[in-house]
């Protein structure tokens, strides 16, 4: 429970009789339901649950296939039927790049091929397949999303070892300075307007330990606009973008990014990663 915090006041949480209680206010109580921790602020709990239910209905109406256990474990490499063309191929490409970053950081830190690696939070985790992969790789993983349904949300894989948390993404119920990785599995712009995603990014930074890493993903047709948002926030926060994943390094990739922003030839990366300065 040390990785969690009350979404209302940021206080520590205590587990009692299978329910989490805020240490600062006895009225702030958060249950587990169907294996998902409902860390929802009381003032917007009903609206967020309704948002999750609407998402389930919309996905079903589009004919998206809901995975069984074996299909879930093979995501995103094995595509599910009903999704837009190239959806899972694009997800797979972005995730492959993220794993190269993760492996580079593990080697940089002298980590072993097996065993505990650190703590990771995945924001906008969807069904949780990335969180599942991180858990298997040795990360203590928390998957957060407002979408918690059992067909297309966090409830898809009910026997997960990673902690699944239904939460308001703009009020992250996580402890400050407790994580080695914070991964936004969707572009920051999907979480709201400029004020909203700026505040969310600042929350993400506060969750990191000194020298921790933040990743922002845009797997589905990476856009110059989203990349510019991420790059600007990285630069504003004084973060160090990772070098050496590809031959040209991040300096070359930033050059490509700026070319793309001004209509010149250049690829926009599906994942951007940077390091928080040491304390």
Give CA–CA dist 86/219, Å, rounded.
11
| Number of Cβ atoms within 10 Å of the Cβ of 176 | 14
Cβ atoms of 162 and 131 closer than 8 Å? yes
Strand order through the sheet with 13-16: 13-16, 19-22, 29-33, 36-39, 163-167, 139-145, 118-123, 179-184, 208-217, 271-275, 240-241
Q: How far apart are alpha carbons 64 and 117 in whole angstroms?
A: 34
Q: How many CB atoms lie within 10 A of CB 219?
A: 22
CATH fold of 65-275: Rossmann fold (3.40.50)
Q: Which residues of the chain have pLDDT under 70?
A: 111-115, 243-266, 279
Q: What is the Cα–Cα distance from 274 to 279, expressed in whole angstroms?
A: 16
pLDDT tens digit string along 33-73? 999 999 999 999 999 999 999 999 999 999 999 999 999 99
Count of CB atoms situated within 10 Å of the CB of 201: 23
Determine the pLDDT at residue 252.
52
- Please give the pLDDT value at position 123: 98
């Amino acid at each position: 429970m040390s990785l969690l915090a009350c979404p209302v006041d940021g206080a520590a949480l205590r587990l009692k009789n299978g329910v989490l209680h805020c240490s600062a206010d006895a009225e702030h109580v958060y249950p587990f339901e169907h294996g998902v921790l409902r860390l929802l602020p009381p003032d917007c709990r009903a609206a967020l649950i309704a948002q999750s239910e609407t998402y389930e209905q919309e996905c079903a109406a589009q004919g998206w296939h809901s995975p069984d256990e074996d299909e879930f474990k093979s995501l995103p490499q094995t595509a599910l039927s009903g999704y837009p063309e190239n959806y899972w191929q694009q997800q797979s490409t972005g995730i492959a790049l993220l794993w190269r970053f993760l492996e580079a950081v593990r080697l940089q830190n002298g980590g072993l091929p097996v065993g505990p690696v650190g703590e990771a939070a995945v924001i906008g985790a969807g069904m949780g397949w990335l969180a599942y992969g991180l858990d298997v790789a040795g990360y203590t993983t928390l998957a957060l999303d407002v979408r918690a349904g059992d067909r297309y949300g966090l409830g898809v894989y009910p026997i997960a070892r990673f902690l699944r948390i239904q939460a308001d993404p703009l009020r992250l119920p996580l402890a400050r300075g407790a994580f080695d990785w914070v991964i936004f599995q969707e572009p920051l712009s999907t979480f709201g307007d400029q004020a909203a995603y700026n505040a969310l990014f600042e929350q993400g930074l506060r969750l990191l330990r000194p020298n921790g890493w933040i990743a922002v993903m845009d797997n589905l047709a990476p856009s110059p606009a989203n990349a510019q948002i991420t790059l600007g926030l990285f630069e504003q926060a004084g973060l160090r973008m990772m070098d050496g994943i590809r031959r040209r390094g991040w300096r070359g990739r930033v050059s490509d990014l700026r070319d793309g922003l001004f209509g010149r030839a250049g690829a926009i990366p599906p994942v951007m990663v940077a390091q928080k300065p040491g304390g």
